[in-house]
Amino acid sequence: MITLTDVHKRYRGHHASRWILQGVTLEIPTHESVALIGCNGAGKSTLLRLIGGTDEPNRGTVRRTCRVSWPLGLSGNFQGSLSGRQNTKFVCRIHGTNDAMQDRLEFVKAFSELGEAYEDAVNTYSSGMRARLAFAMSMAFDFDMYLVDELTAVGDAAFKRKSQKAFEDKAGRAGLVMVSHSEATLRTFCRSAIWLHEGTVRCFGTVDEALACYKESIDA
Amino acid sequence: MLSIATSVWKALLLREASTRLMTGRAGWLWLVLEPAAHIVFLMMMFAVVHKRHIAGANVELFVLTGVLGFFLVRNVARRGAEAINANSALFAYRQVKPIDAVLVRGVLEAFLMAVIGVLLLAACAVVGTPIAPHDPLRIAVAAWLLWGLGMGLGLTLSVTGTLVPEIGKVAALAFTPLYFVSAVMFPIGTVAPSLRAYLLANPIVHGLEAIRGGFFANYHSDDRISLTYLFFNTVVIVFAGLVLHARYARRLIAQ
């Protein structure tokens, strides 16, 4: 269960500090798969970072009572000068898994299908390869809740099928909060939806309802 | 909580060590060669330009202690100051805090400097310089305090330099003039008394001269050289760095 209570967030810039989130209160049950919908700059990634504990709110609280993954995204998460294997080792170590590390390293290599490139520096990777690595790394751990930020958009069709299957295998055990601009992706992965609009959230029981509201707000 | 912190420190230490030692061809070799070349150059300067001895000390050890002691402070401070920018990608994992990156870099630099120091001292011994110190404890305490000073500077500069990049640039520039006033190449005892009072405000001078006093029994330094002064400077600056990290932790990880 993830509980956000009256969360406010702003980033200080050189000129002004605009509030991104203003009083977000929501609960995400552990096994729920939720789509996060909103236009560019609405604060989707910010909300995901707050849920993941990467960042802290200026006001309000975020409580996590289950194992939540880091926000899986294309930007960052990797040390560019190190190889895919070394990056995976780092993540294994900070999650306190020294004993089962070898298995996880091989799992990530196999799942990401990077092959020889697994030993190359991450900054030589294409965005698709980065996405594979990020996704495979998160799958090596048993999180209760996965946070995914625009990750599935870049993989090829085969990898998309594979990642979807991996999530389905974890279904019933793991929840998901996903940011994506691809409606098809959101419909396949998610059951319910959160629409972020002007600093506040509205929750919907189905993705379609949220998308309808979202489109209405754009057309208006 | 502590087990998480230790896991993160271990992971960061191994990560930092592998980038520091494996980059380029024989990256580890350059780590030793840089201070070694510097020391050899200064020794040559002493031999050619100065043409005189330092009272109560031998030139090799005098230069070695000065350069390594100063490099200890400078490298820990510099590498620590850059730690947050260099590791910003890793703050996506909520276990990893900015202060972890700075602390781990400081520990790694201390370890590397210790290895470099032992290698260079061994090299001195091989060419016949007597390296047995007269007061090893004083050397150890002074080295620890110099490391702490570098750590404090690193903690402070990592926050200020990340939030205000101009401060980082000025601080990086400041190390060159600091080198010339830190008694790296001259004994503080040879400085004119009127000027000496100002140079003694610099805590690094106290650390370096204390190390030399620990090596040479008859070294002519200044009576005002005090490890207590260095200690209080270290405590103040470490505290300032920790406060800054506590206060601005959230803003340091904002992307």
pLDDT in tens, A76-89: 678 888 889 999 99
pLDDT in tens, A55-104: 888 889 999 998 898 888 776 678 888 889 999 999 999 888 777 888 89
pLDDT in tens, B18-68: 888 877 677 788 888 888 888 888 878 877 776 567 777 788 888 899 999
Q: At what angle do helices B165-181 and B59-86 cross, to 10 degrees?
A: 180
Domain hosting A35: range is 1-67+144-155+173-220
What pLDDT does residue B104 have?
Answer: 96
Per-residue pLDDT at B143 exceeds 80: yes
Within-domain flag for A160: no
CA distances from B205 to B75, B146, B201 (A): 16, 10, 8
Q: How far apart are CA B37 and CA B40, in angstroms?
A: 5
pLDDT-flagged residues of chain A (< 50): none
Residue B11 is nearest to which of A49, A76, A94, comparing CB atoms? A94
State the CATH number of the domain containing residue A194.
3.40.50.300
Determine whether the interchain pair A81/B23 forms a contact, defined as Cβ–Cβ distance below 8 Å. yes
0.90 surpassed by pTM: no
Per-residue pLDDT at B255 exceeds 60: no
DSSP letters along chain B, please? -HHHHHHHHHHHHHHHHHHHHHSSTTHHHHHHHHHHHHHHHHHHHIIIII-SPPTTS-HHHHHHHHHHHHHHHHHHHHHHHHHHHHTGGGGGSTT--HHHHHHHHHHHHHHHHHHHHHHHHHHHHHTT-----S-HHHHHHHHHHHHHHHHHHHHHHHHHHHHSHHHHHHHHHHHHHHHHHTTSSS-GGGS-HHHHHHHTTSHHHHHHHHHHHHH-TT----TT--HHHHHHHHHHHHHHHHHHHHHHHHHHH--
Residue spans per domain, chain B: 2-253
Total number of domains constituting chain A: 1
Interface of A with B in 175-204 (CB under 8 A): none
pLDDT in tens, B87-106: 888 888 989 999 999 999 99
More confident residue, A219 or B150: B150
Determine whether the interchain pair B92/A77 forms a contact, defined as Cβ–Cβ distance below 8 Å. yes
By the CB < 8 Å criterion, does A123 face chain B? no
A94: chain B residues, CB-CB within 8 Å: 7-8, 11, 93, 95-96
Residue A54 is nearest to which of B4, B19, B92, comparing CB atoms? B92
Within-domain flag for A204: yes
Tokens 């991450």 -> residue = A122
